[in-house]
Structure 1
Amino acid sequence: MMRIIRWILLPFSLLYALIVWLRNRFYDIGILKSQSFPLPIVVIGNLAVGGTGKSPMTEHILRLISPLRNIAVLSRGYGRKTKGFRKVEVSSTAGEVGDEPLQIKRKFPQNTVVVCEDRCIGIEKIRRKHEGILLDDAFQHRKLRPSFSILLFDFASLQHVILPLPTGNFRDCLHESKRADLVVITKCPNKVDGDTRFQLQAKLHKYTQAPIFFSTIAYENPINDRGEQLHLHELQQKGILLITGIANPLPLLSHIEPMASSLKHIAYPDHHAFSASDIEKIKHSYDSIPTDNKLILTTEKDFQRLPEELKIQSPIFYIPIHQSILFNQDFEFENMVKRAFSC
Structure 2
Amino acid sequence: MNYLRLLLLPISAVYGLVVWLRNRLYDFGVFSSTSFDLPVISVGNLEVGGSGKTPLTEYLIKLLSGYRLATLSRGYGRKTKGFRWVKEHDDSTLSGDEPAQIKNKFPAIDVSVCEDRVAGVKQLQHNHDLILLDDAYQHRAIKPGFNVLVFNYYNLNKLRFLLPAGNYRDLFVERKRADILLISKCPQQLNTTRRDEIIRKMKPLNNQKVVFSSIGYSNDIKNIFAGQLKPVNTINKDTHVLLITGIANPLPLVNEIRKYTDNIIHHFYPDHHLFSTKNMLKLVEAFQDIEATDKVIITTEKDAVRLNITENRKHIYTLPVYQWPIEIVFLDKDKSVFDQEILNYVISNKRSDRIH
Common fold, TM-score beyond 0.5? yes
How far did 1:59 drift? 0.1
1:88-127 matches, cutoff 5 A: 88-127=86-125
How many Å apart are 1:206 and its aligned residue? Answer: 5.6
Q: Do the aligned partners of 2:33 and 2:142 also contact (CA within 8 Å) in 1?
A: yes
More displaced stretch, 224-233 vs 121-130: 224-233
Structure 1 residue 209, shift from structure 2 partner: 4.4
- Separation in 1, partners of 2:7, 2:103: 43
Aligned to 1:156: 154
The Cα of 1:261 is off from its aligned counterpart by: 6.0
Match of 1:289 in 2: 290
CA distance in 1, matches of 2:204, 2:155: 17
Instruction: Kindly report the root-mean-square deviation, in angstroms, between the aligned alpha carbons of the 2 structures.
Output: 1.4
For residues 92-141 of structure 1, the C-alpha deviation after alignment (integer angstroms, 9 at most, x for no partner) is: 11000001000000111110000000000011011100000001000000
Aligned to 1:81: 79
> 186-195 or 116-125: which moved more?
186-195
CA 1:153–1:41 in 2, change beyond 3 Å: closer, same or farther?
A: same
> Who is 1:241 aligned against?
242
Structure 1: where are the runs of 5+ without partners? Answer: none
Displacement of 1:311: 4.5
Instruction: In structure 2, give the amino acid aligned to 1:234.
Output: T
How do 1:120-139 residues align onto structure 2 when only pairs under 5 Å count?
A: 120-139=118-137
CA contact (8 A) 2:5 2:165 kept: yes
Distance 2:315 2:262 in 1: 23
SS state at 1:324 partner? strand
Q: Is the 8 A contact 1:42 1:340 kept in 2?
A: no
Equivalences, count:
341
What is the rounded CA distance, in whole Å, between the counterparts of 1:301 and 1:148 in structure 2? 26
How much has 1:341 moved relative to structure 2?
Answer: 2.1
Alignment deviations for residues 314-335 of structure 1 (CA, whole Å, 9 cap, x no partner): 0111000000011222112111
Map of 2:313 onto structure 1: 308
Shift of 1:310: 3.9
Q: CA–CA distance in 1 between the matches of 2:153 and 2:206?
A: 17
Per the TM alignment, residue 239 of structure 1 is displaced from its structure 2 partner at its CA by 1.8
The whole-number CA distance in structure 1 between the counterparts of 2:170 and 2:123 is 29
Identity %: 42
**Unaligned runs of at least 5 residues, structure 2:** 350-356
Q: Given residue 250 of structure 1, which amino acid in structure 2 is its aligned partner?
A: L
Shift of 1:10: 1.5
Q: How does 1:260-339 map to 2 (within 5 A)?
A: 260=261, 262-306=263-307, 307-339=312-344
Counterpart Cα distance in 2 of 1:245 and 1:276: 15
2:61 aligned partner: 62
After superposing the two structures, state which structure 1 stretch, 304-313 or 120-129, moved more. Answer: 304-313
The alignment partner of 1:222 has SS state of strand
**Aligned-pair CA distance for 1:91:** 2.8
- In structure 2, the CA distance between the partners of 1:310 and 1:213, relative to structure 1 (3 Å rule), is farther
Is 2:186 the counterpart of 1:185?
Answer: no
CA distance in 1, matches of 2:317, 2:170: 43
Q: Distance in 2 between matches of 1:107 and 1:258?
A: 26
Q: Return the offset for 1:9.
A: 1.7
- Residue type at the aligned position of 2:160: I
Are the equivalent residues in 2 in contact too, given 1:177–1:208 (CA < 8 A)? no
Give 3-state SS (helix, strand or coil) of 1:185's partner.
Answer: strand
Structure 1 residue 313: Cα displacement: 1.6
Contact kept, 8 Å, 1:10 with 1:167, in 2: the verdict is yes
Residues 1:168 and 2:169 aligned together:
no
Q: Give CA deviations for 1:206-264 in whole Å, capped at 9, x if unaligned.
A: 66741000000111121114332222221114221111010000110011023126221
Q: CA deviation at 1:18?
A: 1.1
Q: Secondary structure at the match of 1:50?
A: coil
Taking structure 1 as the reference length, the TM-score comes to: 0.96
Alignment CA distance shift 1:165-1:209 (3 Å): farther
TM-score of the superposition, structure 2-length normalised? 0.93
Distance in 2 (CA, whole Å) between partners of 1:265 and 1:90 is 29
- State the partner residue of 1:212: 210
The alignment partner of 1:127 has SS state of helix
> Which letter maps to 1:62?
I
Once residues 235 and 275 of structure 2 are traced to their aligned partners in structure 1, the CA distance between those partners, rounded to angstroms, is: 25
- Secondary structure of the corresponding residue to residue 298 of structure 2: strand
